[in-house]
Amino acid sequence: MSATRALLTLACLVAPALGATYAQTDSYQGSDFLSGFTHEAIADPTHGRVNYVDQATAVAQNLTYASGDTLILRADDTTVLSASDPGRSSVRLQSNNVYSNHVTVWNIRHMPQGCGTWPAVWEYGQDWPNQGEIDILEGVNDHATDQATLHTTSGCTVGGTRTMTGTSVGDNCDVNATGNSGCGVTSNDASSYGPAFNAAGGGFYAMERSDAGVKVWFWSRNSGAIPSDVLGGATSVDTDNWGTPFADFPSASCDMASHFGPHNIVINLTFCGDWAGAVFAADGCPGDCTTYVDENPSAFTNAYFDVAWLKVYQ
Ligand SMILES: *[C@@H]1O[C@H](CO)[C@@H](O)[C@H](O)[C@H]1NC(C)=O
Ligand SMILES: *[C@@H]1O[C@H](CO)[C@@H](O)[C@H](O)[C@H]1NC(C)=O
pLDDT along the chain (314 residues), means of 10: 43 49 98 98 92 98 98 98 96 98 98 97 98 97 94 95 96 97 98 98 98 98 97 98 98 98 98 94 96 97 98 98
Number of domains in the chain: 1
User: Does residue 15 sit within a domain?
Assistant: no
Cβ of 126 less than 6 Å from ligand 2 = no
Cβ of 275 less than 6 Å from ligand 1 = no
Cβ of 138 less than 6 Å from ligand 1 = yes
First to last CA, the chain: 32
Give 60's DSSP letter.
Answer: H
User: Does residue 65 sit within a domain?
Assistant: yes
User: Does residue 46 sit within a domain?
Assistant: yes
Range of the domain at 105: 21-313
Strands across the sheet with 37-39, in order?
37-39, 92-99, 263-271, 117-124, 133-138, 147-151, 183-186, 167-168
Residue whose CB lies within 8 A of the most ligand 2 atoms, among 64, 65, 70, 306, for a mutation test:
65
User: Does residue 98 sit within a domain?
Assistant: yes
The residue whose CA has the least distance to atom 1 of ligand 2 is: 62
User: Does residue 126 sit within a domain?
Assistant: yes
Q: Which ligand is nearest to the CA of 72?
A: 2
The pLDDT of residue 19 is 56
Question: 10 Å Cβ neighbour count for 142?
Answer: 18
The residues assigned a catalytic role are 133, 138
The residue whose CA has the least distance to atom 7 of ligand 2 is: 65
Cβ of 65 less than 6 Å from ligand 2 = yes
User: Where do runs of H (alpha helix) occur along 61-219?
Assistant: 194-199
Cβ of 99 less than 6 Å from ligand 1 = no
User: Does residue 208 sit within a domain?
Assistant: yes
Q: Work out whether strand 88-90 and strand 50-52 pair parallel, antiparallel, or are unpaired.
A: parallel
User: Does residue 4 sit within a domain?
Assistant: no
User: Does residue 170 sit within a domain?
Assistant: yes
| Rounded distance from Cα 92 to ligand 1 centre (Å) | 8
Question: CATH no. for residue 86?
Answer: 2.60.120.200
